[in-house]
Structure 1
C-alpha cells in the first residue's frame, strides 16, 4: 500500500462547509482486504476507487466503494465525491460521464468552478415496500425511539441494498436519538438491512432533516447518505412531493445537504441526486 495517492473530498457540503470526508483514489492493483483498510488509514468512513480512461467527455468510469466492513454495491455521497474528483482533473467547467458500479450503468454530471463541483447523478430504480410495525420493533428499541415519536409512512427501500426509512414526528425527536449500536446492528442484520435512515416529516418546502445509522457496514452514523435520500425521494414521490433537500451531519458537527428531484418514469419515479463537493487535501497512505 505505500505510495497510494488519496484525495480527501468533502461531499455534500452545506453552504460551502461541512460535508462527508471521502477518500477517492485511482484504481490500484491491491486486494479487497487492503481496500477495506483505506477508509481507516485515510480517516474517512468510505473509500471510492475510480477507473477512468479519460477522453474529452471523461469516457465511461467504473467505481468501487468500500468501508472497513467490505465492498458496497452503491454509495451516493461517494459518487458525488468521485464526480468532483473527476471534474477537478478534467479542468473544464462542465463534466459529463457514464458511470459503472456493480453492474449498474448511469449518468453523472458536474459543474466545476475551480474550487467546488455541483455534482448530480441518477442512482437508478428504487424498490419500496411498507412493512408492518412488528417487523421493525427491534430497530425502534435499538434506536431508543420514544413511543410517541414515529410518524406514519415507514418503508423498506433499496437502491442496491435495503434499508429502513423511518419518519419521526419532530426534528427534536430526531436530534435526541442515542442508539445502542450493538443492538441496532443485530436487529438490522436479522432483517437483512443496510441500516436505518431516520428522518423528519417533510416541510411544505421539501426540507427534511435525517440521520443514517449503519453499524452493519462499519459506519455507526453517516454524515451524508445520498442513496437513502434517493429512496426517500422515491417514497415521497408517491405522495406528491417531487423535490427535497435533506440536511444531515449536524449531530456529528459536519453539516451536509443532499438534494433530490423526481419525475415520472415508465417503471416508477426517475430520480436525480445532487450535492456540492470540494477537494480538501491530498495524502499518501503510510
Structure 2
C-alpha cells in the first residue's frame, strides 16, 4: 500500500531556529505496526507520531522510533498538537491527547514565528539513585565521579530515566558516551536513558543533553518529558519548579523547552511543558 502523507515539523525551536525534526502522520486503521515501523525508518527523523483522529474530542497518538514503539514522547505531543491546530484552521485550540492510556490536556496557539504548544505532563515519580554516581552508567557516559554536581536521581512520568547533573557547561559539551555500553546498562536497569544537564548560576535555565541509545536515539535534539522531570526534581530539591532548557547545540539543532512544576494536594509533583513548533512549508495531509 502507498504510504500516508507525512508532515515533518521542527518541534521545540529556539528563537525561530533548529528544533527536533519530527514526523507526524494521520493514522490509518489499515496500517500494521510493521507499516508504522517502516514509515518511521523512511522519514529519517528520530521520532514519528501517528495520530488517530477517529475520536475527534481526544485524538490518540502513538510514537515510534526506528527501534520500536514508545509509551510516550513529549516533543512528539507538541509536534502532533501543532499539526492538529494547522489542520483545523483555527488560531487557538484547548483540548487533549491520549497516549498509552494517559490523557494530556493541551493548548496550541498560532504565533508569528510558529505554533506555541503546552501540555500538562501529570505526576512525576522521583527517587534517589546515588549508587549510579559511581556505577556503570556514569562510566558509559564517559564521566567520572568528580564530574557529577549532585546526586543522580531517577524520574519517571511513566518511563524512568536518570537525571545527571554535571559540574559545568564545558563538562556537558565534552561528554562522549560509549553508546553500546550505555544502551546495555539502561536496558539492564530499565531506564529510558540519561538526561545530563548543567544549571545556570540562577538555576532558572539549564543546558542539557539526552542520551537514549536503548530506544534507538543516541542523542535527542529535544526531550520535553525529561525537562518536565527536571522541573519536578528542582521543585523537590530547591522549591523552584520553573525551568527553561536548551538542547541540541552539539547537533547544530538548537532547541528550547520550558516547564513548570507544582505540587498537588497529595504532594505529587506535576509539570506543564511548552515549546514552539515550526511547521515549515504548508503541510499536505490526508
Same fold (TM over 0.5): yes
Residues 1:128 and 2:126 are matched in the alignment: yes
Quick check: 1:12–1:258 contact (8 Å CA) kept in 2? yes
When structure 1 is superposed on structure 2, of 200-209 and 232-241 the one drifting more is 200-209
Aligned residues of 1:61 and 1:97 also touching (Cα < 8 A): no
Q: Which moved more, 1:85-94 or 1:112-121?
A: 112-121
Please give the alpha-carbon distance, in whole angstroms, between the structure 2 residues aligned to 1:222 and 1:186: 18
Matches for 1:11-26 after TM superposition, within 5 Å:
11-26=11-26
In the TM superposition, residue 242 of structure 1 has moved relative to its aligned partner by 2.0
2:46 is equivalent to residue 42 of structure 1: no
CA contact (8 A) 2:134 2:145 kept: no
Q: 1:163 to 1:117 in 2, by over 3 A?
A: same
1:156 aligned residue: 154
Asked whether 1:248 is paired with 2:247, we answer yes
Retained in 2: the 8 A contact 1:156–1:162? yes
Correspondences of 1:152-231 after superposition (within 5 Å): 152-204=150-202, 206-231=204-229
Verify the 8 A CA contact 1:7 1:280 in the aligned structure 2. no
SS in 2 for 1:245: strand
* Counterparts in 2 of 1:243 and 1:27: CA distance versus 1, 3 Å: same
**Do 1:88 and 1:114's aligned partners in 2 also have CA atoms closer than 8 Å?**
no
Partner of residue 80, structure 1: 78
Secondary structure of the residue that 2:231 maps to in structure 1? helix
TM-score, normalised via structure 2 length: 0.93
Segments of 4+ moved more than 3 angstroms = 281-284
**Consecutive unaligned residues in structure 2, runs of 5 or more:** none
Distance 1:115 1:40 in 2: 29
Aligned to 2:275: 275
C-alpha distance in 1 between matches for 2:78 and 2:134: 31
Structure 1 residue 7 corresponds to structure 2 residue 42:
no
SS of the residue aligned with 1:124?
Answer: strand
Structure 1 pair 200/115, CA: closer, same or farther in 2 (3 Å)? closer
